[in-house]
A = this chain, B = another copy of it.
Amino acid sequence: MRVTELDTPVLTVDQDGLEANLKRYHQYFRECGIALRPHIKTHKCLAIAHAQIRAGATGITCQKLSEAEVMLAGGVCADILIPYNIMGAAKLVRLGTLARQCSLTVAADSEYTVAGLGSAAREAGACVGVVIELYQGRTGVESPAAAVALGQRIQAEKGLELRGVMIMPAPPGVRPLLQETLDLFDRQGLPHPIVSGGSTPSALTAHEIPELTEYRVGEYCVGGESHLRRGTHTVEQCALRVLATVVSRPAPDRAVLDGGSKTFSASMLKTDDGPSMGYIVEYPDARFTGASEEHGQVDLSRSVRKPVIGERVQVLPVHPCPCVNEHDEIVAVRQGLVQARWPVHARGCIR
């Protein structure tokens, strides 16, 4: 079946582009001596996770417990990091069950989280590894001293194993904070076999932080409009594409696509030209400026060529992660031919 025969809107991934990204990033991290631990939240898809393991990943990152359960059941790997404060009776039982089946590391930034993790580990008779998150705007402890205090608390909790620290994002500027924290850890005799950085935008500067032992990165494998604009991915390397159809041309300078926020997600990219919801490969001068739920609004005023009603286009979503989560499947294509339909196995795994 040819890609052009697929009904739209449909999410596709170009396997050549995907494989090129895997090769490129895994080679970079190998050369840095940093373990690449892919974040599966981007694709939530067993086939792509398995490809990342084949490319050299020795472990994976999952943002939610349920994602980890799906990946483990799918045989992806037995070394999982969940960089999240996991709490509450229901989740802690599941955490214990998971920890009995794989090498599990989770994050913590509070004594409350640590106490729950400890109970869960002892209840399950399992070992749960813990890394302490350092605050960079999302979650995490506020200072190196607070990290040390929480590290000592973790060491005192039977069933838990202190494994180090994590930070998100990890641009080169975080190095002094990491160095100060690790120095304090060393002085207090706290172990830190894991020093984990994360985020795709700063991935290719990871070598500037030699303290890192591993890196969590998600969108590197498929890219998107933000990666194209940032220069880390070419159009060809932006492997994740929504095929859409122009269903209306209500004015000379406007085209309307058959997908909106329920196809691309409501995620917007701020650009010098205003907000963007995607990059249209065939019409690079067109601007995908907004969307309702099932309609995408395209401004054609700067595009000399203009699509006709019924015409199909390829759109690079702004950010792959929220876009993929809108879809039940990703159609794998190579050289314009459909190769497979990959379920988005961990779609909706929010707990």
Residues on A lying within 8 angstroms of B by beta carbon are 7-10, 41, 63-64, 84-85, 87-88, 90-91, 109-110, 112-113, 135, 138-142, 245, 247-251, 256, 259, 261-263, 265-268, 292-295, 297, 309-310, 321-322, 325-328, 347-348, 350-351
Q: How many copies, total?
A: 2
The interface residues of chain B lying within 8 Å CB-to-CB of A110 are 248-249, 309
CB pair B112 A310 closer than 8 Å: yes
Given contacts A109-B250, A267-B266, contact A294 B64 (CB under 8 A): yes
Helix, strand, loop or mixed for chain A's interface?
loop
The interface residues of chain B lying within 8 Å CB-to-CB of A295 are 138-139
Identify which of B8, B109, B322 contacts A262 (C-beta below 8 A). B322
CB pair B351 A84 closer than 8 Å: no
CB pair A327 B348 closer than 8 Å: yes
The 9 listed contacts between A and B (C-beta, < 8 Å) are: A8-B351, A88-B310, A109-B250, A110-B249, A112-B309, A139-B247, A139-B295, A263-B350, A294-B350
Interchain residue pairs A-B with the least CB separation, the first 10 = A139-B248, A7-B90, A266-B266, A85-B247, A112-B309, A328-B348, A266-B267, A63-B294, A135-B250, A139-B256
Identify which of B85, B247, B310, B328 contacts A248 (C-beta below 8 A). B85
The interface residues of chain B lying within 8 Å CB-to-CB of A142 are 250-251
CB pair B297 A88 closer than 8 Å: no
Distance in angstroms between the alpha carbons of A293 and B138 in the assembled complex: 11
Identify which of B90, B256, B262, B309 contacts A350 (C-beta below 8 A). B262
Distance in angstroms between the alpha carbons of A267 and B262 in the assembled complex: 11
The interface residues of chain B lying within 8 Å CB-to-CB of A112 are 309-310
Chain B nearest CB: distance from A330 CB in Å?
Answer: 12
Distance in angstroms between the alpha carbons of A117 and B79 in the assembled complex: 53
Distance in angstroms between the alpha carbons of A242 and B294 in the assembled complex: 23
In this complex, what residue of B is CB-closest to A168? B292
The interface residues of chain B lying within 8 Å CB-to-CB of A350 are 9, 259, 262-263, 294, 326-327
7 further contact pairs, Cβ within 8 A, besides A139-B256, A263-B350, A294-B350? A85-B247, A109-B250, A138-B250, A138-B297, A139-B295, A142-B251, A261-B266
Identify which of B7, B268, B325, B347 contacts A88 (C-beta below 8 A). B7
CB pair A87 B326 closer than 8 Å: no
Distance in angstroms between the alpha carbons of A294 and B322 in the assembled complex: 10
In this complex, what residue of B is CB-closest to A140? B250
Given contacts A87-B247, A247-B85, A250-B139, contact A41 B109 (CB under 8 A): no
Chain B nearest CB: distance from A259 CB in Å?
Answer: 7
In this complex, what residue of B is CB-closest to A249? B110
The interface residues of chain B lying within 8 Å CB-to-CB of A267 are 261, 266
Chain B nearest CB: distance from A13 CB in Å?
Answer: 17
Chain B nearest CB: distance from A279 CB in Å?
Answer: 18
The interface residues of chain B lying within 8 Å CB-to-CB of A256 are 138-139
Distance in angstroms between the alpha carbons of A135 and B168 in the assembled complex: 45
CB pair B309 A138 closer than 8 Å: no
Chain B nearest CB: distance from A226 CB in Å?
Answer: 13
Chain B nearest CB: distance from A240 CB in Å?
Answer: 16
Given contacts A112-B310, A139-B250, contact A322 B293 (CB under 8 A): yes
CB pair A7 B250 closer than 8 Å: no
Identify which of B247, B251, B310 contacts A84 (C-beta below 8 A). B247
